[in-house]
Amino acid sequence: MSVHPWRASLAAVPLAAVTAVAGAPAASAKPEIEVSGGLTQPVFSYTDAIREHVRVQSPLDSDGDGKKDLVRVDIIRPKESGSGLKVPVIMHQSPYFDNPGVGFQLDHKKYDANGNLTKFPLFYDNYFVPRGYAFVSVDMVGTRLSEGCPTGGGPSDVLGGKAVIDWLNGRAPAYDDNGDPVKATWTTGRTGMIGHSYEGALAIGVAGTGVAGLETIVPLAAPSSWYDMWRANGTLTDFKGGQAWLAKRVDADPPEKCAAVHQRMTAGSDDATGDYNAYWDELDYRDGPISSARNVRASVFPVVGMHDRNVMGNQFSQWWTALPRRVERKVWVTQYGHLDPFWARRDAWVDTLHKWFDHELMGVANDIMRRPRADVQLGPDRWITQADWPAPTRTVTLRPRQDGSLLRGPSKGAGSFLDTKQAELAMAENPATANPNRLAYLTPPLKEAVRLSGTPTVSLKVKLDKPAANLGVLLVDYGTDTRIHGVDPAQGQGLKLIDGHDCVGEGTADDDGCYLRAGDNTITSGFQVVSRGIIDAQNRRSLSRPAPLAPGRPYQITWKMLPQDYEFKAGHRLGLVLTGTNADLDQAVLGEGETATGARVTVDLAGTSIALPLVVSG
């Protein structure tokens, strides 16, 4: 948020005693939250922390059993919060506590004889509880010990998380194991949500409800539209039945419990057409009926991997652009795949996250908001900072020519290819070699480095010999270089494990807070696909209302590619590849995916172009 009136009256708020100290804290019979050097200090015992659990009542009955779902909430907080100290909350809501586990090492929860956690997945509890935070681990509706059915990011998933925020602020009921009401009297109510992938989507979704008390979110590689998780402009970029598959995967209950929910999800997702409909609209957190970017009041600190094939970069960029200007924000833009930055840049990440939560949840005066808003990775071990994302740019429009060049200025001529399903390697390699399934065009070698920052736009003037075709386009960097190997999930999303481990925060025998180390996984290659885009030509005007093309008639089709922040080095060449169905965007190994139409696509080069947002130098 841009305005924090509570900070001006912090001394009058008894919810969290914050004491700034210049040196070592003085001895005290009753520790208070202590701050030194703009950071909260670890003065509370992790071993002695209070561990408890409650069930918060959701507003929905997702499994149709006639009762509103109860959401399991596991809590760890400083023992002093049981005797008057009020603390803020870091909340991690996840569907993954059963399957497949949480984080890179697939952590799972462990319980004692009373049903309280002895092992909280990830490091947030180990690090932040000693510094005066409560950590709340929430089993998403329909998973682990929560009631209901998971709905692939649907209303019950989101509103279950919102109910926990409401309970922390005295607006929703919760119960202990005996069914007795429980109130969160130990908290300030100020809450920050954090999570990776589906978990991050829940944070975005809850923030989009505008719920009071949610002060900040940190979504990592997170979807903001579930349509865009499985679709791209009318094409199927994941396997058929994916929504129901995901719901089944995270749910350890007997299959029959949520069978009716799965059937509704399969029918609603309409895999046969790939079109947008009311089902997908309800799962849109940018401008949907349940959650919308315009309703966000919390500050935001997203992290995005621009080579993420699972949650692609437009999930971040479109939501980021739609946020109200009043929303305080920070971002990390990386060249990795689908990763939590704890594994990619650990020391810097923990330091930055610590300052962020201290500032947003504790009101600590530190330099986090005076730092540049965006950290951007341009290559292995190469990071820069800038005032915002994207960087200031100018649009440069390039056009393909009959001789295979890609230049500014007018063009003429034509080319054609067949809509076949190909891997990107086959599409992009050997651009000077004729290939009936693609057209490739290259700029001359660059005289100096050029940086792309933002979202390219492509426009094709085409004729088809059938009523439909999938139109694909690749922007390629041709030139030998050492790059982050972040495209293939089998290659670690851009990382590899290295020797050693780090113990982050304090620990116990069951929960040591120790994690393996990772470093950049690099590859020396002759080219790299920088950005991509695909569209079902029938959806050129509308994602909801397809319009078949008249064979032989020319059509101008314009759409946005995926965003990127990338530097093309001097001597390299930019390549534009025009092609059909992209096999790399289709995880068909898990089921039937998109099929190519076999249509012949004839391209009028005079009406074809790519518009690139290039960074203004100096």
Q: Active-site residues: which are they? A: 197, 308, 338
Are the beta carbons of 476 and 428 closer than 8 angstroms? yes
DSSP string, 464-493: ESSS--EEEEEEEEEEEEEEE--S-GGGGG
Phi-psi bin for 226: left (phi > 0), alpha (psi -120 to 50), beta? alpha
Record the tokens describing residue 7, joined without a space: 């900070």
State how far the Cα of 102 lies from the Cα of 107, in Å rounded to an integer. Answer: 5
Chain centroid, CA 414 distance in Å: 39
Please work out, in degrees rounded to the nearest 5, the angle formed at the alpha carbon of residue 134 by the alpha carbons of 198 and 368. Answer: 75
State how far the Cα of 296 lies from the Cα of 212, in Å rounded to an integer. Answer: 10
Are the beta carbons of 275 and 544 closer than 8 angstroms? yes
State how far the Cα of 259 lies from the Cα of 239, in Å rounded to an integer. Answer: 19
Are the beta carbons of 307 and 222 closer than 8 angstroms? no
3-state secondary structure of 336: coil
Our CA dihedral for 417, 420, 424, 425, rounded to 10 degrees, sits at: -80
Which among 191, 45, 35 is positioned nearest to 130, based on CA atoms?
Answer: 45
State how far the Cα of 549 lies from the Cα of 465, in Å rounded to an integer. Answer: 9
251, amino acid identity = D
> Cα separations (Å) of 569 from 447, 449, 573?
9, 4, 9
Record the tokens describing residue 209, joined without a space: 């409800």
Record the tokens describing residue 114, joined without a space: 């009373």
State how far the Cα of 512 lies from the Cα of 386, in Å rounded to an integer. Answer: 36
